[in-house]
Structure 1
């Protein structure tokens, strides 16, 4: 690293270890990278606190996950103790994003404002429950807002300005009108 450059200390979760697979220390691994096998390209993967790190020795595809062996993990008992661990890499170890692509960690904490400039709150999470991405915004008070993370609802993401611009939908499915039933 060149002197004078500040390393991005944010950690990005790239995988989660699941249950053991077999008796020789292999584990199920859910990769959160676009190409599931790319998780092996980052070298050592660390726990969030950085106290432990693991290197993938081998990886093969399974139904909806990878089956991997980790260097130093050779028994089922050792593998069982890793179940549920999330594995991270530094943000700057990841490849740059394309236009209109973002890592969740880049969006968390950004201010959310309406197209009229009115503050809505801060981005606290992004979710995908199977029907598309959802942006979660925490207002200064009250319940969080869950909105579709689409170009229509979030027309602008300005990382340099530290904000997302929100065009709230006119109607959100499931909302009940505020008028008495006839």
Structure 2
């Protein structure tokens, strides 16, 4: 099984440096000079990390195979992958494991379906598509996502009032104030 470590974002500068959207909790261990990644699509790689830097919480990578801005723009959206057997992250879930899971309240009431996992500076965010089409962004922290049940095909959500469309304060145990 292939796991995504990062997705290549925008070109940065003229020499082929790119921003990356992290999909790992241990980027310092993964994104190191000399590391070679397979890619999705496979035709875009393999890619070898030449240089890495972090600026204002954003990760930038220079790959040996990407030498100019045009090549960097062409690589946008390419995923950097590794073999799942090489993963050593504890209690980690990957986008492909979460997408499609049913999102439910602790009492089993349906909330919607997980459609994405976004890596944000403070924490990851689950994107849940509600039945009305609204996409709710739920911080992926234990307080709001106390249970991930891959075998049962669901995640349990306890988000605060206001994150889900059309809910009343009483349904979350809160009062309007």
The 2-side partners of 1:122 and 1:136 are apart by 8
Alpha-carbon shift at residue 122 of structure 1 (Å):
0.9
Q: Is the 8 A contact 1:37 1:59 kept in 2?
A: no
**1:70 to 2:61 alignment:** no
Q: Is the 8 A contact 1:20 1:83 kept in 2?
A: no
Alignment partner of 2:42: what SS?
coil
Q: Is the 8 A contact 1:61 1:67 kept in 2?
A: yes
Q: Is the 8 A contact 2:18 2:62 kept in 1?
A: yes
The 2-side partners of 1:142 and 1:78 are apart by 37
Deviating more after overlay: 121-130 vs 159-168:
121-130
2:44 is matched with 52
RMSD, matched Cα: 3.5
The 2-side partners of 1:129 and 1:149 are apart by 10
Unaligned runs of 5+ in 2: 169-177
| Residues 139 and 56 of structure 1, relative CA distance in 2, 3 Å threshold | same
Unaligned runs of 5+ in 1: 1-7
Deviations 1:101-160 (A, max 9, x none): 322332111111111112222101223554543322113334223333222221111112
TM-score by length of 2: 0.68
2:27 is matched with 35
1:84 is matched with 76
Q: Is the 8 A contact 1:27 1:79 kept in 2?
A: no
Q: Is the 8 A contact 1:123 1:135 kept in 2?
A: yes
TM-score by length of 1: 0.66
- Greater strand fraction, Structure 1 or Structure 2: 2
The 1-side partners of 2:52 and 2:137 are apart by 36
**Of the two, which has the highest radius of gyration?**
1
Any runs of at least 4 consecutive aligned residues in structure 1 with deviations exceeding 4 A, and if so which? 128-131, 175-178
Alignment partner of 2:117: what SS?
strand
2:94 is matched with 103
Aligned pair count reads 163
